[in-house]
Amino acid sequence: MARKKQKNLNIDEHILQDFEKIANRKKQQHNTEVEELMKAYIARDGQLLFDDLYAPRIAHTVTKAVDDQIDRLAKMIYQTQKDATAALYSSPVFHIEMLKGVEEIIETHLDPRLLNQNRPKVSTKFSFNHNGKLAVKNLRKMATVDHQENRKQKES
């Protein structure tokens, strides 16, 4: 069965004639420079084919690696945020415990006759859910304003 071959390579006729003149003048039937150029062209085409075949896989692998690192950083930031919030909440809790401790010391070491039995206890008036959370909220606002002012000073 006969097959017709189609030539897809076009070379400028003028360049080909100049090359042929030089080769005839030098009486060359073989040119290593042209052969190396063709080998490089073939190798580059093979590399481009390799890149075309494996580029989606490589892109997926890189994207997955980047996403994994982003997820890892997001988890670290979230954990740091939880730790910072816990540290903020610990201050009012310790304050309440210190108030209770001071009141207990006063009750233990002072003569009960000196103390008013109906005196208000400060530790019972100070609650974490109201006073503590409000204090943390105010401290966060102060810290935010402070960070914004520092950023403005650095930009100036």
Q: What is the 3-state secondary structure (H, E, C) of the chain?
A: CCCCCCCCCCCCHHHHHHHHHHHHHCCCCCCHHHHHHHHHHHHHHHHHHHHHHHHHHHHHHHHHHHHHHHHHHHHHHHHHHHHHHHHHHHHHHHHHHHHHHHHHHHHHHCCCCCCCCCCCCHHHHCCHHHHHHHHHHHHHHHHHHHHHHHHHHHHC
pLDDT (0 to 100) of residue 8: 58
pLDDT (0 to 100) of residue 61: 92
The string of pLDDT tens digits covering residues 96-127 is 889 889 988 988 888 888 888 888 888 777 77
pLDDT (0 to 100) of residue 9: 60
Confidence of residue 10 (pLDDT cuts 50, 70, 90): low
pLDDT (0 to 100) of residue 67: 96
The string of pLDDT tens digits covering residues 133-153 is 888 888 888 888 888 898 899
pLDDT (0 to 100) of residue 65: 95
The string of pLDDT tens digits covering residues 72-102 is 999 999 999 888 888 888 888 888 889 889 9
The string of pLDDT tens digits covering residues 36-66 is 777 777 777 767 777 777 788 888 999 999 9
pLDDT (0 to 100) of residue 74: 95
